[in-house]
Amino acid sequence: MTSINEVIQSPLFGRLKKKLKKYRIKFPDDAIRKIMEAPELGEQTIGDLSGVRVFKFRMGNDQILLAYEILEKNLHLYAFGFHENFYRDLKKYR
């Protein structure tokens, strides 16, 4: 297990989080805390997105995917959202 020194969020991640209602912001924050405790929680992706991990969590009744990568003890947060078109949009962004 690696220890995380710094959390870096992408501009896309920041925009997505800013659009959330105040009572929903705690859900991605809790997911990020879980990832920081155990960075290997997310599923490893393959193909064009190799190296990126995706952690699934619930926001109310919805399942949300959070894409992140660990580079040199830094946690890079890329995006989060519903499963529909998530990987396609992530591939375009990355």
Q: What is the CA radius of gyration of the chain?
A: 12
Q: In the prediction, which pLDDT does 94 show?
A: 78
State yes or no: pLDDT of 1 exceeds 70. Answer: no
Number of helices (H) and strands (E), helices first, in the chain?
A: 3, 5
Using CA atoms, how far apart are residues 48 and 19, in angstroms rounded to an integer?
A: 28
Structure tokens at 86: 């998530």
Q: Band of the pLDDT at 52, cuts 50, 70, 90?
A: very high
State yes or no: pLDDT of 7 exceeds 60. Answer: yes
* pLDDT digit string, tens, across residues 53-91: 999 999 989 999 999 999 888 999 999 999 989 999 898
Average pLDDT over the chain reads: 91
Structure tokens at 67: 């894409």
* Alpha-helical segments (H) within 1-73: 11-18, 26-37
**Fold of the 6-93 domain:** YaeB-like fold (3.30.2310)
Query: Domain locations in the chain?
Result: 6-93
Q: Residue 45's CB: how many other CB atoms inside 10 A?
A: 17
Averaged pLDDT, 12-32:
92
State yes or no: pLDDT of 2 exceeds 80. Answer: no
Using CA atoms, how far apart are residues 18 and 5, in angstroms rounded to an integer?
A: 24
Instruction: Give me the sign of the Cα torsion angle 62, 56, 94, 20.
Output: positive
State yes or no: pLDDT of 10 exceeds 90. Answer: yes
